[in-house]
């Protein structure tokens, strides 16, 4: 396209800005997809664990199921719940979830010291 005057230049710039803005908006919308881990897609997951991991349950129901998992859940079920939450934070990317869990483990000693100093006060 050959631009011969200022009006054509301005129109060309506006159309390019509009196209780039639309493309950026589309990319942002794609980025904002929040992928929650869905345990119902897997076989052998206990019903109470499936309910606990449902992202659409009420806070009250979550608290009740979490207390039940804390009291009656096996270490394997509790570990699975932790992994499922990490997978949700990582938008179902297993490697990213593992990295988050490794970072959480590394924070353990620091949090332990913080809790100990908080209890002394």
80 Cβ partners below 8 Å, 6+ apart?
A: 45, 49
Q: How far apart, in whole angstroms, are the C-alpha atoms of residue 85 and residue 82?
A: 5
Q: Does residue 100 contact residue 89 with C-beta atoms inside 8 Å? A: yes
118 Cβ partners below 8 Å, 6+ apart?
A: none
Q: What is the pLDDT of residue 30?
A: 62
25 versus 81: which is more confidently predicted? 81
pLDDT in tens, 41-91: 778 888 888 888 887 889 999 899 999 988 988 999 899 889 988 988 888
CA–chain centroid gap for 46, Å, is 23
Q: How far apart, in whole angstroms, are the C-alpha atoms of residue 50 and residue 68?
A: 13
Q: Read off φ and ψ for residue 66, nearest 5 degrees.
A: -65, -40
Is pLDDT above 70 for 28? Answer: no
Q: What is the pLDDT of residue 31?
A: 58
What does the pLDDT average to over 12-34? 79
């Amino acid at each position: 396209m050959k631009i011969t005057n200022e009006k054509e230049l301005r129109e060309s710039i506006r159309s390019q800005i509009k196209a780039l803005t639309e493309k950026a908006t589309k990319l942002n919308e794609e980025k904002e997809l929040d992928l929650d881990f869905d345990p119902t897609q897997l076989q052998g997951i206990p019903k109470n664990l499936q309910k606990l991991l449902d992202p659409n349950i009420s806070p009250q129901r979550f608290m009740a199921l979490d207390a039940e998992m804390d009291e009656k859940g096996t270490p394997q079920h509790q570990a699975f719940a932790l992994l499922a939450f990490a997978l949700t934070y990582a938008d179902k990317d297993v490697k990213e979830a593992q990295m988050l869990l490794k970072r959480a483990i590394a924070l353990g000693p620091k949090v332990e010291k913080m809790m100990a100093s908080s209890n002394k006060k």
